[in-house]
């Protein structure tokens, strides 16, 4: 089965779309390694804010992360296609990641999870909880949240975080890399 053409490309892009350096990162909101790399990526964005670099995040769900899908729906519902809203809410949720690991949710319901996501959205952005949950249920949010995992399959991504730089796959950085490691990767590319 071929993948249908989505209404918009996968991912949320920050930076110049025509930048010389593109960092594509596939992350899972429930993945502890994705959380680690996220903090460093925020530092990378700050460090290179005036350079020709962009970051595109593709939010996927790893099968063992049961809560990730609904949290993804919440991220897409709050962002409404706005990358800045997405990145801000992603920061907010990663700071609370331990609240939705599998162990704390072992005996909770699906509705408990949806209420937690609505609470996050209300705390972060002041949204009305019932309307927000209804927005999470909309078909277009479901369709948007599905695009990154389909794109991940095309790119042969099976784990998070997975990083591509200028579509290159042999990237010498990972979740444990420091800002200095990223500088060692990016500075020569900028100088080329």
Q: What is the pLDDT of residues 40-90, one digit of tens each?
A: 999 999 999 999 999 999 999 998 999 999 999 999 999 999 999 999 999
State the burial class of residue 161 (Cβ atoms within 10 Å of its Cβ: 0-12, 13-18, 19+): buried
Residue 1 — very low, low, confident or very high, per pLDDT cuts 50/70/90?
low
Half-sphere exposure of 184 (CA within 13 A, CB side): 9
Q: Which top CATH class is 12-174? A: alpha beta
Q: What is the pLDDT of residues 131-150, one digit of tens each?
A: 999 999 999 999 999 999 99
Which pLDDT does position 6 carry in this prediction?
76
pTM, full prediction: 0.94
Q: What is the pLDDT of residues 87-130, one digit of tens each?
A: 999 999 999 999 999 999 999 999 999 999 999 999 999 999 99
Q: What is the pLDDT of residues 165-186, one digit of tens each?
A: 999 999 999 999 999 999 999 9
CA distance 112 to 114: 6
State the burial class of residue 155 (Cβ atoms within 10 Å of its Cβ: 0-12, 13-18, 19+): middle
Please provide the DSSP assignment of 13-37 as one string.
Answer: EEE-TT-SEEEEEEE-TT-HHHHHH
| pLDDT surpasses 90 at 164 | yes
CA distance 106 to 18: 45
Instruction: Tell me what percent of the residues of the chain surpass a pLDDT of 90.
Output: 93
Residues 98, 99, 104: CA angle, nearest 5 degrees: 95
Q: What is the average pLDDT score of the chain?
A: 95
12-15 sheet: strands from edge to edge: 12-15, 53-59, 21-27, 162-165
């Amino acid at each position: 089965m071929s993948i249908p053409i989505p209404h918009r490309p996968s991912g949320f892009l920050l930076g110049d779309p025509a930048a010389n350096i593109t960092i594509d990162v596939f992350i899972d909101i429930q993945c502890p390694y994705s959380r680690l790399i996220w903090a460093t990526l925020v530092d990378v964005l700050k460090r290179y804010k005036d350079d020709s670099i962009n970051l595109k995040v593709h939010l996927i769900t790893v099968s063992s992360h049961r809560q990730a899908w609904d949290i993804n729906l919440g991220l897409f519902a709050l962002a409404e296609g706005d990358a800045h809203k997405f990145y801000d809410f992603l920061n907010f949720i990663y700071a609370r990641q331990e609240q939705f690991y599998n162990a704390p949710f072992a005996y909770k319901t699906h509705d408990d999870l949806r209420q937690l996501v609505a609470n996050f959205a209300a705390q972060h952005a002041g949204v009305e909880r019932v309307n927000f949950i209804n927005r999470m249920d909309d078909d277009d949010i479901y369709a948007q949240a599905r695009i990154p995992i389909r794109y991940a399959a095309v790119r042969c991504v099976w784990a998070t975080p997975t990083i591509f730089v200028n579509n290159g796959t042999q990237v010498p950085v990972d979740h444990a890399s420091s800002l200095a490691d990223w500088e060692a990767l990016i500075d020569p590319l900028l100088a080329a």
